[in-house]
Amino acid sequence: MAAILPNVPSVKTFTDAWTKKFEETVRTAAGKDGRLSVTEARRIAERVDGGQHFSDNAVGYLNATKQKSVSVSKLVQSGRAYAQASAQSAAGADGRLSFADGQKLRPDLRDDFLFLRGKTVEAVQPTPQQLKTDVTDFILRAFDNGTARKLSGPPAIVKGRKPVVEQLPHAPSNTRLSAYVADGRVYVSRSSNQTGTGLVGWYDVGPVPQKSTMSDLRARFESAMNGMWLMSESDAQLKFIASSAGVAGATTAELVKRVFGKTHDALGPTLYGSLDPNFVKLADRAQVQEMNGYAWIEGQGEVSDPDDPAAVAEAARWQNLAKLVKSELTDVKVIRFGETNITMMLVGQTKTGELAGFMSAVVET
């Protein structure tokens, strides 16, 4: 973030700047009722845009006064007096705060000073909609890829929080996912209408994603593939896939098997539009074939019958998807698993180092 304070601010300049940012932060956290509770004050620490530095000031006031909540106006008034008194004590003989003087401030004001001086690296605070988009992509990848860790029960830290994502369908497992963000991590409550499934419960999915480019990529791929089917003796849908983290090395069949083994077994039974009870898991598919992904998808875009408007339109959709693949993925391969009932993955490496693409299937007798 750009510096708000000059290099050597006066006590008044520091106090004014600190009070302005403090008020902005606590007023947002307090909500419509204009009162900040202890819980709301603590949750300020979960921000990533610099606002987190003001959590300890608000919590400190409530603890010192033994109050459960306080009006924003009263808190800001007290905070201003506190910051001014500390700055006056720390300032040099010239009444200004040098970088060294800033370290003489009260402990809960030192990081605030660095933040206002532009000396800390802050992220952009996501909007509620952006956070929902990123968390949605994050949890879908986690449950597709089997990386979410099941917990023994609900974590205490989510108590009283509203879910960021509610009742998101996870079609491969026929479950629904509700995601909560707490202390910088994503937790999911997984539910199902089926009885006796061991999938229901609470899960730790991992750290909150920071402005995920993968959520944007998922949206673009799913938009391009919407309603598309891979034609063979039995037509199959195209399902977006992406790794939960970055990978090292070239795109190979072995890498794809290792990264997407659980994804293959989760998505595979749904590829033909209905649940296939006889679907063969990846571990039981002996035959593996690796192909050039660019050549394969370009072949799908060839017009089979120029006089058939439907064939022309279908080819155009494949051509559009091919452009997306070429613009967003490198080292693209098509990996085919099995014989007769063949699952296939078109996979490449994203600009941020993950694997992504789509999964489908063909029947070849």
| Burial of 45 from C-beta contacts in 10 A (0-12 / 13-18 / 19+) | middle
Q: Does residue 6 lie within any of the structural domains?
A: no
pLDDT for 90 equals: 94
- pLDDT in single tens digits along all 365 residues of the chain: 578 999 999 999 999 999 999 999 999 999 999 999 998 998 898 888 889 999 999 999 999 999 999 999 999 999 999 999 999 999 988 899 999 999 999 999 999 999 999 887 666 677 888 889 999 999 999 999 999 999 999 999 898 889 999 999 998 888 999 999 988 899 999 999 887 778 999 999 998 876 667 888 999 999 999 999 999 999 999 999 999 878 878 999 999 999 999 999 999 998 988 778 889 999 999 899 999 999 999 999 999 899 999 999 999 999 999 999 999 999 999 999 999 999 999 999 998 889 999 999 999 98
Which structural domain range is residue 45 located in?
Answer: 11-116
pLDDT for 124 equals: 67
Are 219 and 245 within one domain?
yes
Q: Which of 167, 186, 207 is the last residue of a domain?
A: 207
CATH code for the domain in which residue 335 is found: 3.40.1460.10
Domains: count for the chain: 3
Q: Does residue 1 lie within any of the structural domains?
A: no
Tally Cβ neighbours within 10 Å of residue 353: 11
Q: How far is residue 109 CA from its own chain's centroid?
A: 31
Are 203 and 217 within one domain?
no
Contact 338, 350 (CB under 8 A): no
Are 175 and 220 within one domain?
no
pLDDT for 1 equals: 58
Are 143 and 62 within one domain?
no
Are 225 and 343 within one domain?
yes
Are 199 and 223 within one domain?
no
Q: Which of 207, 225, 256 is the last residue of a domain?
A: 207
Are 146 and 68 within one domain?
no
User: pTM, whole model, 2 decimals?
Assistant: 0.66
Q: Which of 207, 238, 272 is the last residue of a domain?
A: 207
Are 37 and 134 within one domain?
no
pLDDT for 154 equals: 94
